[in-house]
Amino acid sequence: DAGVTQSPTHLIKTRGQQVTLRCSPISGHKSVSWYQQVLGQGPQFIFQYYEKEERGRGNFPDRFSARQFPNYSSELNVNALLLGDSALYLCASTLWGLNTEAFFGQGTRLTVV
């Protein structure tokens, strides 16, 4: 049984560019959340989606956006990249409802130069 899969695993972008990160949740999981983990810190919540609707948003600028597709996969988009956006971007998959166990993918390492 496949876990949470994220692509790409590594990415290098230039300041001002745009990036799209992708996530496929565990089969049967309907909710996807995105987190940003800066080196040496704990993950910070960015977005939560369930049934294609945004259910939560963290304290991130409007340059960050996301969406969820009918198959429950998700994309995170970041526009006008800044050096400070360099981080590990994590996708977490949950069933939703009372079951709150969140399972993370291996992440996408984004480096902005």
Partner 1 sequence: QQQVKQSPQSLIVQKGGISIINCAYENTAFDYFPWYQQFPGKGPALLIAIRPDVSEKKEGRFTISFNKSAKQFSLHIMDSQPGDSATYFCAASSKAAGNKLTFGGGTRVLVKP
List of residues contacting partner 1 (CB under 8 A): 4, 6, 33, 35, 40-45, 48, 55-56, 58, 88, 90, 92, 94, 98, 100-107, 109
CB of 53 to partner 1, least distance (A): 11
DSSP structural state of residue 82: -
Q: Is the separation of the CB atoms in 55 and 48 below 8 Å?
A: yes
Q: Which is nearer to partner 1, 31 or 112 (CB)?
A: 31
CB of 108 to partner 1, least distance (A): 10
Q: Which is nearer to partner 1, 79 or 106 (CB)?
A: 106
Q: Is the separation of the CB atoms in 23 and 6 below 8 Å?
A: yes
DSSP assignment string, 30-44: -EEEEEEE-TTS--E
CB of 40 to partner 1, least distance (A): 8
Cis peptide before 43 (omega within 30 of 0): no
CB of 16 to partner 1, least distance (A): 27
Residue type, 54: E
